[in-house]
Structure 1
Amino acid sequence: MTRHFLRDDDLSPLEQKEILDLAEQVKADRWGRKPLAGPQTVAVIFDKSSTRTRVSFAVGIADLGGSPLIISTANSQLGGKETASDTARVLERQVAAIVWRTYGQEGLIEMAHGTQVPVINALSDEFHPCQLLADLLTIREHKGELKGLIVAFLGDGADNMVHSYLLAGATAGMHVRIACPADYLPLADVVADAEKIATTTGGSISILTDAAEAVTGADVVVTDTWVSMGKEDEKAARVASLSAYKVDAAMMALAKPDAIFLHCLPADRGYEVEADVIDGTQSVIWDEAENRLHAQKALMVWLLEQAA
């Protein structure tokens, strides 16, 4: 049966663990799995500029024996003359899977409905589920069991990383605390979905306005850029509203002594995080960036096995 990965709760708790277990295996034996041998092609579509996503998917597909076909929507019919579902029906006859870094979630949903090959959300305005698999893998490597850990996210609560942390963290049985201004809250329906998941996994969801309250006693501290792509004209207003949520040494001191710091990158040093934190001993951002490769390879292997 064809499975897609459009948002974090497309995976059950057991399936999420299966993929993270598999990620550890493929990381330990990088070239041991070749489900794309042939080579089979995977279409990797970009509406937005990218560094980590482009590199990790291209390298990961090659590691799995396949060939990445990088497509820019600026040089294709997708989003112009052709609908996402029509594009999907063309691609499915020639590729093994479709990866799309895009804007609205609705395009991914339409593409998934229109194809019989797996569709993977490489980033949308609403969710960043592949990044969360990498983050959870990184946290597991440094902390062991995910269940019961306290994760504090500081900054823009309407951020796609927040929505993914809510869903993926709840799925893993973690206690997710989001600290953000009252006018930068996460989507209410995503919060409700995460709370529902948490009731079955033993996790919890807290939406707070006090950054110190969120960080106190946390095992993991996370932030993201305050100014995402397409919001550059809002920079001054965002910096003014979010300045109390900066992760600096004093903020990290409120977390547990062995707490780790994560950031999906790119980072605006001096804004959402100070350089002494992101370059400090508690930062695991380079492990996190590398783990995009291993987590996404595991995801692709798992999805291809479901479709076999």
Structure 2
Amino acid sequence: MRHLVSIKDLSSRELEVLVDKAEEYKRIFKSQDATEVQRNHLKLLGRTVALIFSKRSTRTRISTEGAAAFFGAQPMFLGKDDIQLGVNESFYDTTKVVSSMVSCIFARVNDHEEILNLVEHSNAPIINSLCNMYHPLQAICDMLTIKETLNYTRNKLKVAWIGDANNVINDMAIACLKLGMDVAISTPPGIEMSPIIVKAAEDITKQNGSKLLLTHDSVQACKDAHILVTDTFVSMGEEYAKEAKLRQFKGFQINQELAQHADSNYKFMHCLPRHTEEVTDEVFYSDHSIVFEEAENRLYAAMAAIDVFVINKGNFEI
């Protein structure tokens, strides 16, 4: 059984397949061709897709439920106050029970260890919908957004990340490198990328010649970049440290002054929700911004994941 835990676990070819499938399902969804919609709607008709969410969500919940409905499945949202998980029942018992009744589990949790426990004990495919280490669905969505906007298959691109060393860039960096893009990551002094991610990234660069730059200099990272990306400086669960975090990230806002070092046709991306300390309105709402196209593409990333890991049982070539 194949699970989607992180982009690091996928081959370059498997990642390409997921992005291509997301692109194809976007075409089908947008065209609303009755024959194609009905054909896909029958694939999981009468089945159930579980959403075990320990964290609140907007895009992840909407896209996952929409993707399940597209294939005819009934999405079942199981929030932290809805089931016994971690309260009156062991993680193992809950996982065995839930996975016996559903076609797959989308899990949005806190610790990466929880994803690994689900994978170990589940009888159904697990799709990591966010943990503190990885966010693979966001990376698939982002690769689709970059492909349809700047076409990494034809153009050599540089992606610049300005911000925290978090789950979003962990998967996005690996995805970009696997697809031949160069990646520059600028974090504040004292914040470093995970050694696990750095090692995986360096192995990819040795194989395909893509480049990785780790720096604390945002101007250096942005130089000639085709895509500028950031994320929240204060992740869910870190609200208690907000003031200290914002002091640490002072000077790391993406603004017009910083963006002038990027390529003249640069695009701006953000997985949302967004705060003004991360990016100014002038950039966020500019013609360079593709954040809302990116958000919509979460739906098609979820469709691709269901297609490969649930409908086709982990076979990427069907």
Give the structure-2-normalised TM-score.
Answer: 0.92
1:235-274 matched pairs, under 5 angstroms:
235-269=242-276, 271-274=277-280
SS in 2 for 1:176: strand
Q: Does the 8 Å CA contact 2:184/2:214 hold for their aligned counterparts?
A: yes
1:42-53 matched pairs, under 5 angstroms:
42-53=49-60
Moved over 4 A (4+): none
1:1-308 matched pairs, under 5 angstroms:
2-30=1-29, 31=37, 33-34=40-41, 36-145=43-152, 148-157=156-165, 159-269=166-276, 271-304=277-310, 305-307=312-314
CA offsets per residue over residues 39-72 of structure 1, 9 Å max, x none?
2100011101111111110111101111100001
How many angstroms apart in 2 are the aligned matches of 1:243 and 1:249?
16
Shift of 1:86: 2.6
Q: Does the 8 Å CA contact 1:162/1:186 hold for their aligned counterparts?
A: no
* Matched residue type, 2:293: D
CA offsets per residue over residues 264-287 of structure 1, 9 Å max, x none?
000002x01001111000000000
* Matched residue type, 2:158: I
Q: Does the 8 Å CA contact 1:34/1:63 hold for their aligned counterparts?
A: yes
Shift of 1:120: 0.6
Q: Does the 8 Å CA contact 2:142/2:172 hold for their aligned counterparts?
A: no
How many angstroms apart in 1 are the aligned matches of 2:101 and 2:198?
38
Q: Does the 8 Å CA contact 1:150/1:174 hold for their aligned counterparts?
A: yes
CA 1:129–1:307 in structure 2 vs 1: closer, same or farther (change >3 Å)? Answer: closer
Q: How many residues align?
A: 305
How many angstroms apart in 1 are the aligned matches of 2:278 and 2:112?
26
Listed as ranges, the gaps of 5+ residues in structure 1 are none
Shift of 1:35: 6.0
* Matched residue type, 1:152: A
Q: Does the 8 Å CA contact 2:41/2:69 hold for their aligned counterparts?
A: no
* Matched residue type, 1:38: L
CA offsets per residue over residues 51-97 of structure 1, 9 Å max, x none?
11111101111011111000012221112233333322212221000
Q: Does the 8 Å CA contact 1:4/1:10 hold for their aligned counterparts?
A: no
SS in 1 for 2:268: strand
Give the structure-1-normalised TM-score.
Answer: 0.95
Listed as ranges, the gaps of 5+ residues in structure 2 are 30-36
Shift of 1:195: 1.2
Residue 33 (structure 2) aligns with: none
* Matched residue type, 1:287: E
Identity %: 32
For the aligned residue pairs, the C-alpha RMSD in angstroms reads: 1.5
How many angstroms apart in 2 are the aligned matches of 1:300 and 1:24?
14
CA offsets per residue over residues 161-201 of structure 1, 9 Å max, x none?
12112222222222111101121111112211121122223
